[in-house]
Amino acid sequence: MKLVAGLGNPGKEYEGTPHNVGFQVVDLLLKQLGISGFQQKFKSQFLQTSVKGEACIFIKPQTFMNRSGLAVAECANFYKIPIENIVIISDDLDLPPGKARFRYGGGHGGHNGLRSIIDSLANNQFRRVRIGIGRPAGKRNVVGHVLGRWSKAEEKFALSVIYLVLNELMSFLETTKFENTSFSAPELA
């Protein structure tokens, strides 16, 4: 069994913000799989399905970013999902829009959602996909940046790399292949 958790904040006011890119990736992945029908379970929007004969769970925690670990741990513990079969998708300030990084294990890098998950699982060896959102320009603060709106150029770069990420996530779901690697939008390569 595999668990894919996209991080974000619940509520219409957060839709389309850089901080909710994890939710966006899960939605696009499920669209690519031709699956819909979230239900409320484990403090999350929850969907269970089968990909190539293996059970897969997709969640979008509804606990707000800083408490994402509560939802992820509740689901992972209930189904006894091995840590190496958990993938967390989050935004990353230290990567520019149009860049993404797959990584196995590691720290939270200052990301409160990842910090919450590490604390709640008491383990940092899960897999993670980090989508670049870049640091704020000028005098804009970090909170205003992550909860603000993408510029047209940032959104274009982010979507371009997200489609590359979706292919890699499909490979993980179908084969459990997951390499530590980085991706760049074609326009940035």
**Closest-CA residue to 132 (of 21, 5, 13, 8):** 21
Q: CA–CA separation, 166 vs 29, rounded Å?
A: 6
Domain ranges, ordered by start, for the chain? 2-184
The continuous run of DSSP H or E covering 101 comes out as: strand 99-104
User: What are residue 141's phi and psi, to 5 degrees?
Assistant: -85, 165
Q: CA–CA separation, 159 vs 71, rounded Å?
A: 26
pLDDT of res. 42? 95
pLDDT of res. 80? 97
Q: What is the pTM of this model?
A: 0.91
pLDDT of res. 84? 92
Superfamily covering domain 2-184 = Peptidyl-tRNA hydrolase (3.40.50.1470)
pLDDT of res. 187? 66
pLDDT of res. 188? 58
pLDDT tens-digit series, residues 137-170:
776 678 877 787 877 878 887 888 888 888 888 8
Low-confidence stretches of the chain (pLDDT beneath 70): 139-140, 176-177, 187-189
- C-alpha distances (whole Å) from 49 to each of 3, 27, 65, 73 are 11, 14, 24, 19
* Cα 43–Cα 51–Cα 69 angle in degrees, nearest 5: 25
pLDDT of res. 173? 87
pLDDT of res. 69? 94
pLDDT of res. 129? 92
Known catalytic membership, residue 19 = yes
Which of these is catalytic: 19, 108, 111, 145?
19
